Every structure is written in structure tokens, then in C-alpha cells.
Amino acid sequence: MGYSSTAIFGNDLASDVRATYRELLEDGVSAEEALLKVEKEFSYASNDPDNRAAFWTALAATQMQLGRLDDRVRDQTIAVIDSGGDLHMWESTDAARRKAVLAKLRSQLLGPQKRPIRVRPHKRELSPVQAGETFVLGLQDGREARFRTLAVHSYRVGDVPIVEMVDERGRPYRDGVRALVAFKQDVPIRVIGRFRAPSKVAMPDVSCTWRALQLHAAKLLSDPEAKPNRGLFH
């Protein structure tokens, strides 16, 4: 477990617990079911001497922030803090800071709690192109680059296309890019045709933004050696 600070969420485990619990609520899972799922997913940490303090304090703090503090979680967290928490993992100066952080959380957990706040569903970002579509990408210098969409990969937060640059005959560029393109399309795109997309597409090694794809495409269009002629395409 990596620590960046003595704060409650100053370590990887705590951040993961917070994100998982909140994402479950965003997806419409009840607070009770979300708690059970988080405990199951992080069962390795809940009783581990080095990890249990990070787990329980993160879970309790997250629930408290969202107005959903569970009594059992509160009591378990206080018990962990009272038993010393994870102070054995810190050097003297940092241990004092961590102790103060844990003491503050303990006081907050025993104090008045806020009413449940609304957790809005996460808005999924949709892919601007679909598998089997050929499209042109407008470049900053006015030129256009042609791409084909090999597949669309679905994540919890949205759909991301896997694209590759091709010439007017549909041939991939030599040393071209086959990339997973990030969310939030902010460049001009125009679908111009369709092709038969492959049934299986390996996840590419490259991922980039749409603007980075623009820049790379401009370089390929300007490079005669990159053009897929005379059998140089793959």
C-alpha cells in the first residue's frame, strides 16, 4: 500500500475504498448493498494489521461525507483507532500527525451526522464513432485524415473507440497508430462509410486524446515513408 501523506485518503487503499463505494452509489446500488460489496472486495484488508486502519477509516469517512455512516462501520472504525490504528507503520514525526488525523476522525464519527446527500449517476461518455465506421478527422492545418473504427471498448464511465489510420483504399499506414482514443471528442469528425469490422481486436498499446491523434495523423500525412504503398502496409 502506497502512502502519499498521513491524511485519511493519503494512501492507495483508502482512495480505492472511497472510489468503489461512491461508484456503487452512483450506479444506483443501495447504501446497504454497497457496504457489503466493498467489504467483500476489500476483505483482504479489513482484518490485516497493516491495512485495516486505512480500510475502516476510509470507509467510515466516505460514508460520513455522504451522510450514510453505518453504525457498525462507525463502531469498528473507532475500535481500530482506539487499538492504535496503523501508527506502528509511521516514523515518530509522521506518527504524531497520523495520530492527530485519526483522533479528529474519531471525534467526527461520534458527532452529529449530516443527512444523506444525493449521489448523482455518472454520465457516461459515448463514442462518437462505432465499430465498422470509416471517418475523417479534421486536422488543425485544414487537411483531413482517414480512420476506421475497429472496435468500441466499454468502460463504466463510457465507450472508447479503437481506431487506426488508413489511406483512401482502406490500407493501414506503415508505422501508423492503432490507438484507444480517450473520452470527450473535441475535434471535427465526419463518418463517411462502413466496412466489416473484425470480430476480435486486441487492446492496443497506445492510448491518446483526440487532439494527440490529430497531431500524429498530421505527421503521418506529411511523411512519404509512412504511406501504405508498395506493400509497406501491415
- The answer, yes or no, to whether residue 80 has pLDDT greater than 60, is yes
Other CB atoms within 10 A of residue 121 CB: 9
Residue 124's pLDDT band, with cuts at 50, 70 and 90, is confident
- The answer, yes or no, to whether residue 232 has pLDDT greater than 50, is no
Each residue's pLDDT tens digit, 181-193: 887 778 999 999 9
> Which pLDDT does position 100 carry in this prediction?
97
User: CA-to-CA distance for 103 and 81, rounded, in angstroms?
Assistant: 8
Q: DSSP string spanning 147-184? A: EEEEEEEEETTEEEEEEEEE-TTSPBPTT--EEEEPSS
The stretch 193-222 carries a mean pLDDT of 91
> Which pLDDT does position 231 carry in this prediction?
45
User: CA-to-CA distance for 198 and 162, rounded, in angstroms?
Assistant: 12
> Which pLDDT does position 110 carry in this prediction?
97
Short-list 98, 113, 15, CA closest to 63: 113
Each residue's pLDDT tens digit, 40-59: 999 999 999 999 999 999 99
**pTM, entire model:** 0.64
The x, y and z cell numbers of residue 30, run together, are 443501495
User: CA-to-CA distance for 183 and 160, rounded, in angstroms?
Assistant: 6
Contact of 197 with 132, CB cutoff 8 Å: yes
Residue 69's pLDDT band, with cuts at 50, 70 and 90, is very high
Residue 1's pLDDT band, with cuts at 50, 70 and 90, is low
